[in-house]
Amino acid sequence: MKFGSDTPRKPTLPDDVAERSIGLRPLERVSRALSGAAPPALRQHLTAFGAGVLYRRRARHWSVERTPPTRVGRVLVSGFLGGVFGVAQAGRLTAEALERGGWDVARHDLAASRTSLLTGRGTLPEAEVGGVWLIHANPPELRHALMAYPRAAWADRYRIGYWAGELPLAPRDWLEASRRVHEVWAPSRFVADGLIARARGSDQVELADRVRVVPHPVAAPGLVVPAPERYGMDPHRVEILCMMDARSSVARKNPLGAIEAFRRAFPRQQGHARLTIKVLALDQSPAWRRRLVVEVGGRSDIRLFDEALDQGEMRQFLRSVDILLSLHRSEGFGMVLAEAMALGRATIATGWSGNLDFMDDGNAILVPARQVPVRDPQGLYRGQTWAEPDLDYAADALRALADDSGWRARLGQAGLATPARLADAFDRAVAASGLPLRVRTKPPPPPQP
């Protein structure tokens, strides 16, 4: 199998020669200038533009591999492993699942690569070449990772990109990034179909043969003791939770839909149920913060919660609610939904996109939706369609579920099977991938004396 175009390429230059040939000094000066005066949005846009220019220049000197590397070694899992957002959690789950499977795993936090982006002289934690480099980040961050380290450090590794899109068609520039990896793992059928649909009609139709559905292996959490008072909840109320990260499009997560569905379910302020909107990074979108403050105003049974929680606290937070409500317009997978189900929480979610790989009418309430053009004030998504959930249906379901503790218990019990289903699908997908042929198993620990 060939990866990339058959067009002849110029000979690959040594890394230090290539770096001098593209002239990094202007980019370094721009980076220093942007670190102070520019507004955050402009700084982010210009930084992304500059990184794109740098990538295109540097990639000219990378030869195209004709056959995948086969040398056996460790699997280096790179991701934003220290973060408190969904992609970070997904990377940790993958590393943990591979370790449980007996593979020899090394971990690497991609946050460290930013300091080497301009020079390209970073050092990967696993010096041994060969094995697999599993980059648990979307193509923009994949490009940054390739630029941050000398080509000699990764050219002889079998490379896997773990990508998650949220629209029916993957971004066009992901096709170019797919030339730099040997496989693409997608966390859901929805994401995989978007990649394959984008490849159709392009010069990379063969990408369909390299895309593999590998679900996030959400693990059974063990004993998690609820602590509603710790998070300002009332154990005598039905506590309903909606979660969103402003960095991943507020419109896509649709907290306004959750608030409206709650208002329709409970038109007047009451003491039976309460809705909490858990927000993250809302300070980066002041307009949305103002809008949400207005929407929850005047109702003591609707509140915003913006406390930053670590991984253990987040599990306890989820365990302390009764219902998780996600009227999303699209999900590549639906990590929080899977984690809530693993904790035995009843869930109500839009019946469309990646969450349908593990949610059905037997373990959740799925809200019907129609397709509408994407409208995202933040500009993160555009030009396609996504779901508009039926808020009347959601309101009826929310009111009925809040009034029926037995139904909540049955849905929660059904959701407890989610980790086992995902783990089985993950293990089978990994076994069918290129990883087992290139990664050694970890020797068992020596017996205790």
Per-residue pLDDT tens over the stretch 419-428: 999 999 999 9
Phi and psi of 69, rounded to 5°?
A: -60, 150
pLDDT (tens digit per residue) in 68-105: 999 999 999 999 998 888 899 999 999 999 999 999 99
Beta strands at 158-162 and 132-135: parallel, antiparallel or unpaired: parallel
C-alpha span between 367 and 388 (Å, rounded): 10
Query: What value does the mean pLDDT of the chain take?
Result: 88
Say what the alpha-carbon torsion angle 149, 194, 173, 212 is, to the nearest 10 degrees: 30
In this prediction, residue 3 carries a pLDDT of 38
Residue 6: pLDDT over 80: no
- Percentage, residues of the chain above pLDDT 90: 73
Q: 298 burial class (0-12, 13-18, 19+ CB within 10 angstroms)?
A: exposed
The pair of structure tokens assigned to 15 is: 């890394």
pLDDT band at 130 (very low <50, low <70, confident <90, very high): very high
**Residue 336 identity (one-letter amino acid):** V
Residue 201: pLDDT over 70: yes
In this prediction, residue 65 carries a pLDDT of 65
Q: 140 burial class (0-12, 13-18, 19+ CB within 10 angstroms)?
A: middle
> Residue 335 in contact with residue 218, Cβ under 8 Å?
yes
C-alpha span between 189 and 404 (Å, rounded): 33
Say what the alpha-carbon torsion angle 292, 296, 297, 303 is, to the nearest 10 degrees: -110
- Give every CB contact of residue 135 below 8 A, 6+ residues apart in sequence: 78, 79, 110, 141, 142, 145, 159, 160, 161, 162, 181
Range in 25-39, 201-215, 330-344, 375-389 with the lowest mean pLDDT:
25-39
> Residue 257 in contact with residue 380, Cβ under 8 Å?
no
- Percentage, residues of the chain above pLDDT 70: 84
Residue 167: pLDDT over 90: yes
End-to-end alpha-carbon separation of the chain, Å?
50
Say what the alpha-carbon torsion angle 304, 306, 311, 313 is, to the nearest 10 degrees: -70
In this prediction, residue 333 carries a pLDDT of 98
The mean per-residue pLDDT over the stretch 426-432 comes to 97
Look-up of token digits 């980019």: 27
Cα 442 from chain centroid (whole Å): 27
C-alpha span between 162 and 164 (Å, rounded): 7
C-alpha span between 183 and 77 (Å, rounded): 14
The mean per-residue pLDDT over the stretch 284-297 comes to 92
More confident residue, 53 or 24: 53
Beta strands at 302-305 and 273-280: parallel, antiparallel or unpaired: parallel
Residue 39: pLDDT over 70: no
Residue 348: beta bridge partners?
A: 325, 365
More confident residue, 328 or 68: 328
pLDDT (tens digit per residue) in 334-359: 999 999 999 999 999 999 999 999 99
Residue 103: beta bridge partners?
A: 441
Residue 40: pLDDT over 60: no
Residue 238: pLDDT over 90: yes
* Domains of the chain in sequence order: 64-220+420-442 (3.40.50), 228-415 (3.40.50.2000)
In this prediction, residue 49 carries a pLDDT of 63
Residue 441: beta bridge partners?
A: 103
In this prediction, residue 84 carries a pLDDT of 80
Considering the entire predicted model, what is its pTM? Answer: 0.88
> Residue 145 in contact with residue 137, Cβ under 8 Å?
yes
The mean per-residue pLDDT over the stretch 209-222 comes to 95
